[in-house]
Amino acid sequence: MSESEKEKKIFLSYCGSRDQELLTGRKKMTLGDMERFSFLTEFFGLESYGLNL
């Protein structure tokens, strides 16, 4: 499992069901969602996953 995949699992565990649907592609993500996720991945120190978003 790559570092990014590990960080993705960690980040998804922090998220609620709506955010999980956005991140897994079941719902369409807006620019605001993308900015929020970028901020949160940086805040939690999940840079590898943040770059993949």
Write the pLDDT tens digit of every residue in 22-33.
Answer: 999 999 999 999
pLDDT of residue 1: 85
For the purposes of burial, counting CB atoms within 10 Å of the CB of 10, is it exposed (0-12), middle (13-18) or buried (19 or more)?
middle
Whether the per-residue pLDDT at 10 is higher than 90: the answer is: yes
- What residue numbers bound the domain in which 35 lies? 3-48
Within-domain flag for 53:
no
Within-domain flag for 44:
yes
Within-domain flag for 7:
yes
Averaged pLDDT score across all residues of the chain: 94
Within-domain flag for 10:
yes
- Give the DSSP H or E segment for 43: helix 31-43
Within-domain flag for 14:
yes
pTM (predicted TM-score): 0.83
Give yes or no for a contact between 39 and 32, defined as CB atoms under 8 angstroms apart: no
Domain count, the chain: 1
